Structure 1
Amino acid sequence: MRSITAMVVVQIATAVLNILFKLAMEDGMNPSVLVAYRLLFATLFMLPLSFIFQRKRKPEFTWSLMLLALLSGLLGVVIPSILTIAGLALTSATFTSAAAVLTPLITFIFAALLRMESVRLGSSVGLAKVFGTLFGVGGALVFIFYRGKEIHLWSTHINLVSQPRDASTTTHHISVFGALLVFGGNISISLWFLLQVKISKKFGGPYWNATLMNMMGGIVAMIVALCWKRDLYEWRLGWNIRLLTIAYAAIVISGMVVAVNAWCVESRGPLFVSVFSPIGLVIVALVGSFLLDETLHIGSIIGTVIIVGGLYLVLWGKNKEMKSILTINSSDHIETNKTSKDITLNTLPPRLSINVP
């Protein structure tokens, strides 16, 4: 029950982040400046936690480790954050959350192409993975291109967006370019997942991994932001939505959510964490329609259902595959022990072996 409660809280926190990102973009904040500040704050927050909770697992800071941290920071935070935030300004918070559900499916595609994941089209597991991926892609296309009838959930609407916008930017019928930016961010995160399979153990622990990733990514993001926006006025922070968004993203998401996710993955497995991702999508859709005046349509509902169905189909196939592997490994372990016992009995002298059960 604690794991379930923790993951629901994580999804609520992530949904709130998408809403804050949308409000910060509408306030005129530059995406590169927002990412640079977020990673800087996240590094300052995570570094003390790393020394407190994982002092004994501190890695050796070599040039090769820092280069891996730089690559991890680029793929894991800099590229996806800039692309997603820029795409969020051209789409909606609901679409961005729906596209994030596609990340496990995109990861499976790259893992299959790199032969890190088996497909096996002749089995039910392989077919579930393939059709689940196709459903996810199809659901995203429905979300983008099909509008349908409007759905009004509330009798009154509160629009926190200060700038007037036309109907095309307040609905799920979003620009293709914005959708491509969001998908580009998801692809970068998927590549980061595959990279973590190879290098995560070299960082000592999840806290140090997040700290080094944020630090190296923050350096790159700061350079990019300074080249992009040299006007110091763009870097000014006050007691407004910009500071709230940066602090929330750094402390809650990069700090607390990272720790909770790491605990749930360690205790319940990665599939358990992935199952809860649609909850954040539902929360963003409801809050976005109420606070951001994002009109829902039949197309967005149908596309979301197809995406979530494809995700659960892939997760079902992966879960069944993992159980099969565990069963085979358990059988091999029992057979190995039995063979080892038989060999030991056969090597005993006859006078002793008759007394051994």
Structure 2
Amino acid sequence: MGIGVGGSVLDAARPAAAMVAVEFIFSALQIFIKLALDDGMDVRVLVAYRLMFGAAFLCPLAFLIERKKRPPLTVKVVTGLFLCGLFGITINQNLLVLAIKLTNSTTIVTALSNLTPQSTFIVATLTRMETLKLRKPSGQAKLGGTLVGLGGAMLITFYKGPEMRFLRRLAHTGLSHATGDRQLRQQPAAGSRILGSFLAITSCFSYAIWLTIQAKVGQVYPCHYSIAALVCLFGALQSTLLALCIHRDADHWRLGLNIRLYSSAYAGIVASGSAFPLMSWCLRKKGPLYVAMFGPLIVVFVAVMSSIVLDEALHIGIVLGAVLIVAGLYMVLWGKAREEDEQEADAPKLVGQDEELGKESLPHAKG
């Protein structure tokens, strides 16, 4: 009896532990990216190498796991995957990494990246995939959450506020001293910080467009590993061509046993290769709303790790804006969950109405 209860508790805790691990992996990725940029690595080259490593890891994995159930590729599916690579990988990742470079802050960019649900709601509304149901609590919550989240983004973008020093008092490594001194010498101008923030917000809309396209592709090509591998492959080709158009000098592409290689390998193999299977497993077990609820954890992880490892300053404006973004995120998620409940509640009513209409039309049909 005790073993059964313990086993059930362990089974229930596994999805939560997996999502915490996923958010920690992505948090460490932000730190690796910042360290590579501080080392002088070009934004576009970093993204290209990341996707090369990711495609090299995911393609064999997808071939082995889904080789027996993979449907044939059609022109429509390939076009959709190409667009997924363009919006979800190439544009999104280049904007995010450039935003980190311009703001000189992983915490700002990570906080703004939590606008993805609000951005998805806006894109879905503009493309008429979703309608504004302002008379229902679900529609009010989604609209309110979107406005609150955008307000938090504006707060982060335009308000800095006093510095919160308590995290920076923790023990620092020699690496953090070096990066901290470098950061003190390279404080971004206000214009760069604002531009970087808007690029981060734009990347959320690019990601939202990718989600919209991939949802349609997934309906006709239900192979998650193959989709991830092909999207990563297309993104690698697109990002490499973009980087080569700007940098053909071999010095920009040279990798040694340094932070540039470690960052690229971690991003491609660990972040793409390990986090994606964990997230896919959680999606199958618990659904998208459960996975999305863990998104704000990355803000906390990055804020702590950036302060300790990078000696990055944390300002009150970032904290207040992040709180608003997270509050808006949960409002949108609550609205989405409530909408699903409303649809389930309305379904029996619609069935009953159809039956009544059928009974009313029956005598006329006989006549």
Tell me the TM-score normalized by structure 2. Answer: 0.86
239, 242, 245: which one pairs with 1:221? 239
> For residues 277-315 of structure 1, what are the alpha-carbon distances to aligned partners after superposition, in whole Å with 9 as ceiling and x for unaligned?
110110101111111121112211111111111111111
- Paired residue for 1:323? 341
1:159 to 1:122, Cα distance in 2 relative to 1, 3 A:
farther
Matched residue type, 1:324: E
Assess if the C-alpha contact under 8 Å between 1:139 and 1:305 holds in 2.
yes
Alpha-carbon contact 2:112-2:322 (below 8 Å) kept = no
Q: Say which of 9, 12, 17 aligns to 2:24.
A: 12
| 1:279 is aligned to 2:302 | no
* CA RMSD, Structure 1 to Structure 2 (Å): 2.6
- The equivalent residue for 2:269 is 251
What is the rounded CA distance, in whole Å, between the counterparts of 1:214 and 1:139 in structure 2?
31
Q: Secondary structure at the match of 2:312?
A: coil
In 2 relative to 1, CA 138–33 (structure 1 residues): closer, same or farther, beyond 3 Å? same
Query: How far is the alpha carbon of 1:59 from its aligned partner?
Result: 3.2
Distance 1:110 1:81 in 2: 19
2-structure distance, mates of 1:23, 1:152: 21
3-state secondary structure, aligned to 1:116: coil
Residue in 1 that maps onto 2:9:
none
User: What residue is the counterpart of 1:353 in the other structure?
Assistant: none
1-side partners of 2:305 and 2:217: how far apart? 37
> 1:37 aligned to 24, 29, 49, which one?
49
Which one of the candidate residues 208, 212, 220 is aligned to 1:202?
220
Show the counterpart of 2:134. Answer: 121
Q: Does 1:290 align with 2:331?
A: no
Alignment correspondent of 1:104 = 117
Structure 1: distance between partners of 2:159 and 2:14: 39
TM-score with structure 1 setting the length: 0.89
- Who is 1:26 aligned against? 38
Say whether the 8 Å CA contact 1:128–1:314 is kept in structure 2: yes
Q: CA deviation at 1:27?
A: 0.8
Counterparts of 1:222 and 1:44 in 2: how far apart (Å)? Answer: 14
Residue 61 in structure 1 maps to residue 79 in structure 2: no
CA deviation string 1:323-353 (max 9, x = no partner): 22123335656x59999xx9xxxxxxxxxxx
Distance 1:172 1:327 in 2: 50
Would the alpha carbon gap of residues 228 and 173 (structure 1) be closer, same or farther in structure 2, given more than 3 Å must change? closer
Identity %: 38
Which of 127, 144, 149 matches 1:136? 149
Residues in 2 aligned to 1:215 and 1:208: alpha-carbon distance in whole angstroms:
10
The CA deviation at 1:45 is 0.7
Matched to 2:48, the amino acid is A
Partner of 1:355: none
- Counterpart CA distance in 1 for 2:331 and 2:273 is 31
1:49 aligns with 2:67: no
1:66, CA displacement in angstroms?
Answer: 2.4
Letter in 2 for 1:257: A
Output the CA distance in 2 between the equivalents of 1:166 and 1:314.
38
2-side partners of 1:63 and 1:160: how far apart?
Answer: 51
Query: Aligned in 2, Cα 1:315/1:309: closer, same or farther, shift over 3 Å?
Result: same
Aligned to 2:328: 310
Structure 1: stretches of 5+ with no match in the other structure:
343-357
The one-letter amino acid paired with 1:128 is A
Q: Can you list the C-alpha shifts for 1:44-74, whole angstroms capped at 9, x where unaligned? A: 1111111221112223234443222211100
Q: How far 1:160 sits from its partner (Å)? A: 4.8
Which region of structure 1 is more displaced relative to structure 2, 57-66 or 95-104?
57-66
Residues 57 and 204 of structure 1 are in contact (CA less than 8 Å); yes or no, is this contact kept in structure 2?
Answer: no
